[in-house]
Amino acid sequence: MKRKNYSKELKSKVALAAIKGNQTVNEIASEFGIHASLVNRWKKEAIEALPLVFGNSKAKQTKEAEIERDRLYQ
C-alpha cells in the first residue's frame, strides 16, 4: 500500500485550525478526512517552524557565507 502525500496547503490549513483551538483534534481530522495523529504532528511542526518564518535571513546568509569562506581558505 502506497503512502498518501498531502499538499503543503492542506497541512498548513490543518495546522492553523489546530493552533486556533476552536475545534477539537477529532473534529479537525474528520473535517479534512485525515487521522487525528496527523493533526497533532502538523500542529507541532508548524509551531516549531514559526521562529524560522520571522528569523533574520540576511544574518543567516552572512554567517553561512563566512563559514563557507573559512572552509575554503583552509
Q: Where are the domains of the chain?
A: 8-73
pLDDT in tens, 18-30: 999 999 999 999 9
Contact criterion met (CB below 8 Å) for 15 and 40: no
pLDDT of residue 59: 66
pLDDT in tens, 14-66: 999 999 999 999 999 999 999 999 999 999 999 998 887 777 666 667 778 88
Residue type for position 63: K
pTM for the model stands at 0.70
Residue located via cell numbers 475545534:
23
